[in-house]
A and B are shown apart, each in its own frame.
Chain A
């Protein structure tokens, strides 16, 4: 064991034992972020804060929630919402937070796509981010079941039913997931476990991994410029703060993030207190009833685009049933973003508006995703079904065409 001299200060005492000075440098004051960024670069910190809000509010809810089909609904809507002091506040923060976190995830994700922050060394950042997207989706879905309202029940019924389309093992898989032949008490308790234990653990791990993956390729910047971070960091430390292309995470980068966070929180709390129906569907204030199918069943808004890809194929093509086609398309839709770095064959790391072909692709995708989202909620009848089909096909074609579009772009710009 090393020789310890008597510490002169508390900081030194901790530094001797935990190396806190060095740790703070590595994590905060000498963790370098490009200076050339806009408020979209604050989404990561916003997500971290939102996740913290969800964890804390979730812990409070956990103290009164009862994962039992006979008690769940009243434990949420009576005990938590009306009896426990400020229980309603925690539930509103949790429910609205779960919805808003997806809004920020989507902004974060499409910022990455717009600025090409997924390639040339940043592949692992992208993949760990997509992993987080999938985990958050699972967390959102499992959590939505817990209040045991009508939409909890029927969305769970419809979504678990999807797995039945998988060849050979489908039927058994559905029973395995539900723990019963139908959505029942066993389904509720296992989704409860997933929601409060397994998935949050996985999310925590994935967040750490996502942050870690950022350390080597570094954060992208507004122009997609590559520069030597060590050189720029030296400039900064030498006092040439204005010339340096980087800023430290603390306090410079975070000061901007806190400012963005402040105004974002204003928007968030407005939703929490005054405009929460979009996240707490009125239908879900009817207790789950397996004998009474609601007139319209739809998932939460953040799943609508992929749900519409699933529903978009409603007729048989070349002997394959619409249901199977939809399932295949749904599978592709959920997996395709993972391979974004390899579908984009252009070496350009630039904001989309500076890329000759990719910009069209990007805005087409945005429009298509909005159409899918809106029609994913509407009843799939008449013309709506065809809009759904066309936009689902457009989604698949866009991704199938991406390698060719970006290859052509690479040729046009001559490998720059």
Chain B
């Protein structure tokens, strides 16, 4: 009985200390922020209930978008090589092939209307800064026209699934600025351009699943400003499903042994448990002679 009391005292002391240095300290050092909002409800410039017309969208896209953007899957190749594009615009403009699939509809419509507000980069592109986002605002378009463009982009997005989608989404959403060294992925925009464009070289994301963790990434990717105020990383506007694909890919690359770890863990614990029981029985036998 006394042994259990001692164990309880030790467990209490260790438990209190653990609570203090882990959950409590984390709570103090990383205060909770507003939960991720995948409907991007603060963006209200475009009435997204309007049904878009794909045919008209195609016409608008050909007139307004493909001068800078590739839409490879729809037969519009890149206008120039990445290095030249980065030199012209500061950063390589995204290929819009998967835009309709990975970006939230509301976000995408409002982005076309006014990119800077949608990305939450008002702090970077102030009039005083003299900086200008390379893509102009299409706030002169009617909401119907914007929704036509969105409908067209959604119509050309190829369906991909599984691990293939994880990688594709990561490359489309993150790959213009971020390296993923452990997957052999290099940002499509050259480093020098990136440094000028972003103010700093965006980090390699190989170990971000470990250093930031799923919980942090979930909120951060949805709205970087909420956790890292003043960062030059834009809000990219991924749908919840697309963001989960990105995080899944970061885990596949950054924590590739997770499944092995978890299954082996159970076996090792089972083995140890059997050892502990046998050791207990042996101890009982041995000590029965001396007590």
- A-side residues, CB < 8 A to B, are 35, 38-40, 74, 77-78, 81-82, 88-89, 92, 103, 107, 241-242, 244, 247, 251-252, 255-256, 258-259, 261-263, 265-266, 269-270, 272-274, 277-278, 282-286, 295-296, 301, 304, 366, 370, 373-374, 377-379
A39-B7, A285-B211 known; A262-B280 Cβ under 8 A: yes
Task: Find out whether the CB atom of A82 lies under 8 angstroms from the CB atom of B28.
Answer: no
Chain B: minimal CB distance from A111 (Å) = 9
Given contacts A39-B7, A272-B265, A304-B21, whether A242 and B291 have CB atoms under 8 Å apart is yes
Which residues of A are found within 8 Å of B213, using beta-carbon distances? 282
Closest to A375 in B: B20
Whether B13 and A370, one on each chain, are in contact in the complex, defined by CB atoms closer than 8 angstroms, is yes
Report B-chain residues with C-beta under 8 Å of the C-beta of A92: 261
With A40-B6, A274-B262, A283-B211 known to touch, is A242 a contact of B290 (CB < 8 Å)? yes
- Is A378 a contact of B182 with CB atoms below 8 Å? no
7 closest residue pairs by CB, A with B: A262-B276, A273-B265, A374-B20, A285-B211, A285-B210, A258-B279, A255-B286
Interface presence of B44 (CB below 8 A): no
A39 and B22: CB pair below 8 A? no
B34 CB within 8 Å of chain A: no
What string of 1s and 0s marks CB contacts (under 8 Å) between B1-32 and chain A? Answer: 01100110010011011101110110011000
Instruction: Answer whether residue B264 sits at the interface, using C-beta atoms and an 8 A cutoff.
Output: yes
For A264, the closest partner residue in chain B by CB is B276
Contacts of B140 in A (CB 8 A): none
Task: Give B258's nearest chain A residue, CB to CB.
Answer: A88
Instruction: A274-B265, A282-B210 are known; give 13 further A-B pairs, CB within 8 A.
Output: A35-B290, A39-B7, A78-B206, A241-B289, A255-B283, A256-B283, A262-B277, A262-B279, A266-B272, A266-B276, A370-B13, A374-B17, A374-B24
In the complex, chain B residues 237-281 whose Cβ is within 8 Å of any chain A Cβ: 256-257, 260-262, 264-266, 268-269, 272-273, 275-280
Specify which chain B residues have a CB less than 8 angstroms from the CB of A77 in the assembled complex: 182, 206-207, 210
A269-B29 in contact (CB<8A): no
Tell which of B14, B20, B29 touches A295, judged by Cβ atoms closer than 8 Å: B29
- B residues apposed to A, CB below 8 Å: 2-3, 6-7, 10, 13-14, 16-18, 20-22, 24-25, 28-29, 181-182, 203, 206-207, 210-213, 256-257, 260-262, 264-266, 268-269, 272-273, 275-280, 282-283, 286-287, 289-291
**How far apart are the CA atoms of A263 and B287 in the complex, in Å?**
18
Q: Name the B residues within 8 Å of A263 (CB-CB).
A: 276
A44 to B284, CA, bound (A): 21
Residues on A with C-beta less than 8 A from B279 are 255, 258-259, 261-262
Interchain CA distance A107-B2 in the complex, whole Å: 17
Q: Report the minimum CB–CB distance from B39 to chain A (whole Å).
A: 29
Q: Which residues of A contact B3 (CB under 8 A)?
A: 38-39
The answer to whether A378 and B277 touch across the interface, beta carbons within 8 angstroms, is no
CB distance from A115 to the nearest CB of B (A): 11
Structural contact, A265 and B276, CB atoms closer than 8 A: yes
B182 — which chain A residues lie within 8 A by C-beta? 77-78, 82
Within 8 Å CB of A255, what residues of B?
Answer: 279, 282-283, 286-287
Cβ contact within 8 Å between A286 and B207: yes
B276 near A259 with CB under 8 A, answer: yes
**A77 CA / B17 CA spacing, docked (Å):** 29
The closest CB in chain B to the CB of A248 belongs to B290
* Partner of A269 from B21, B256, B262, B265 at Cβ < 8 Å: B265
Complex Cα distance, B278 from A283, in Å, reads 40
Min CB–CB distance A379 → chain B (angstroms): 7
The residue in chain B whose Cβ has the minimal distance to the Cβ of A289 is B203
8 pairs, A vs B, C-beta closer than 8 Å = A82-B256, A82-B257, A241-B289, A272-B265, A285-B207, A304-B21, A373-B17, A377-B25
Given the interface contacts A39-B6, A269-B265, does A379 sit within 8 Å of B28 by beta carbon? yes
Closest to B208 in A: A285
* Contact A373 B282, CB 8 Å, known A40-B6, A82-B257, A247-B290: no
Q: A255-B282, A256-B283, A266-B272 are in contact. Are A373 and B21 (CB under 8 A)?
A: yes
Q: Which residues of chain A come closer than 8 Å to B7, judged between CB atoms?
A: 39
The answer to whether B272 and A377 touch across the interface, beta carbons within 8 angstroms, is: no
If A35-B290, A81-B257, A252-B286 touch, does A265 touch B264 (CB 8 Å cutoff)?
no
A247 to B287, CA, bound (A): 9
* Residue numbers in B under 8 Å from A259 (CB-CB): 276, 279-280, 282-283
Determine how close the nearest CB of chain A comes to the CB of B93; give it in whole angstroms.
29
How near does chain B come to A211, taking the closest CB pair, in angstroms? 22
Q: Using Cβ atoms and an 8 Å threshold, which residues of chain B touch A81?
A: 257
A38 and B6 form a contact (CB under 8 A): yes
| CB-CB nearest in chain B for A236 | B290
B128 → chain A closest CB, angstroms = 27
Residue of A nearest to B269 (CB): A269
Residue of A nearest to B209 (CB): A285
Q: Which residues of B contact A378 (CB under 8 A)?
A: 25, 28-29
Chain B contacts for A366, CB-based, 8 A: 13
Residues of B within 8 A of A270 (CB): 265, 269
CA distance A108 to B277 in the complex (A): 24
